[in-house]
Amino acid sequence: MSTLHGRPAATREQGLFSLADVEPAALRKLVARSAELFHDRRAHDLPLRDRLVGVLFTRTSTRTRTAFQAGAVRLGGTPVCYGPHDLQLDTGESVGDTGRILGAMLDLLVARTAGPVRHLRELSGEGGLPVVNAMAAEEHPTQAVCDLATLTLAYGDLSGIRVLYLGEGNNTATALAHGLATVPAAHVTFVTPPGYGLPDGVLAAARRVARDTGAVLAETHCPAEAPDRVDVVYTTRWQTTGTSKADASWREVFRPFHVDEALMRRWPRASFLHDLPAHRGDEVAGAVLDGPRSLAWTQAAMKLPSAMAVLECVVRPTA
């Protein structure tokens, strides 16, 4: 398994593409660094000084885009920002050729696209520059770094933590599975609507890592089968950014997965997480999202320090 900086050197890929690539010890270090920067955003020596950071977002973003642009500036770098139609990718230029050009001019690229992670790997490999996956179709790895750092603030040592995820098995859920698989003795249950579960192979890959950490990961499609002991309830909005659902009656399928006060009473000490944006009344009740057990707003604030930690680690892989 590769370190955070990239896969084996022969591929020339560098950066953060999937948490499945990251060694558990490296991920724990990254999470701890995120928490440290949460407490003190100036606890660094401007590691991006004199560096140009490309920020390419072809999908909407509030938290992640702002976090990486602001994080680059706070670390001494200069962002070079691209919108969804700014590059010749939009007119048919190949991913490889785009990577070569960006690699000749930039020091680092942060990218959110609707495409597969392999396109980000190609941008890095052809351009010879580190690339950070700020969300691709399959996975949102920097969100899981943020989530683990938020839980670390709230709980300290995460060993044995019990997490219940309710909702679609989307790219946030995939990253969460890979991330929590590295936590010793964690228990993670994904309760997903029928037909909207985790992608094939995700649980198997996470369980391979969990063999060494003692983590347990399970999936069910019935909310009534949620475990009796839960420390954290996590949900995401039902309409994943940049996607649509083929089934016109999908809301009826998702309705039993709504998180409200009645559901939260099953676990009176459990915290609540949401990666935002939220649609109150759909996946979560406003009383839960804005209630005393919600960590969602701390989680949102953690986006900046966790982005800073990722940027720092990518440019200093052995730091």
| Helices marked H in the chain | 24-39, 63-74, 95-105, 117-127, 141-155, 171-180, 202-213, 250-254, 261-264, 286-289, 296-301, 303-315
CATH (residue range 141-301) = 3.40.50.1370
Domain extents in the chain: 9-139+303-315, 141-301
Written as tens digits, the pLDDT of the chain (319 aa) is 344 544 333 347 899 999 999 999 999 999 999 999 999 999 999 999 999 999 999 999 999 999 999 999 999 999 999 999 999 999 999 999 999 999 999 999 999 998 999 999 999 999 999 999 999 999 999 999 999 999 999 999 999 999 999 999 999 999 999 999 999 999 999 999 999 999 999 999 999 999 999 999 999 999 999 999 999 999 999 987 666 788 888 999 999 999 999 999 999 999 999 999 999 999 999 999 999 999 999 999 999 999 999 999 999 876 5
Question: Using CA atoms, how far apart are residues 276 and 288, in angstroms rounded to an integer?
Answer: 13
Phi, psi of 111 (to 5 degrees): -135, 135
pTM of the model: 0.94
The H-or-E segment that residue 55 falls in is strand 52-57
Calculate Rg over the CA atoms of the chain.
Answer: 19
Residue with tokens 């707003």: 297
Closest Cα to residue 175, out of 216, 134, 212, 214? Answer: 134
pLDDT for residue 2 = 43
Q: Which residues pair with 56 in a beta bridge?
A: 82, 111
| Angle of helix 171-180 versus helix 202-213 axis, rounded to 10 | 20
Fold annotation for 9-139+303-315: Rossmann fold (3.40.50)
Tell me the torsion sign for CA atoms 88, 89, 94, 98.
positive
Topology alike, domains 9-139+303-315 and 141-301: yes
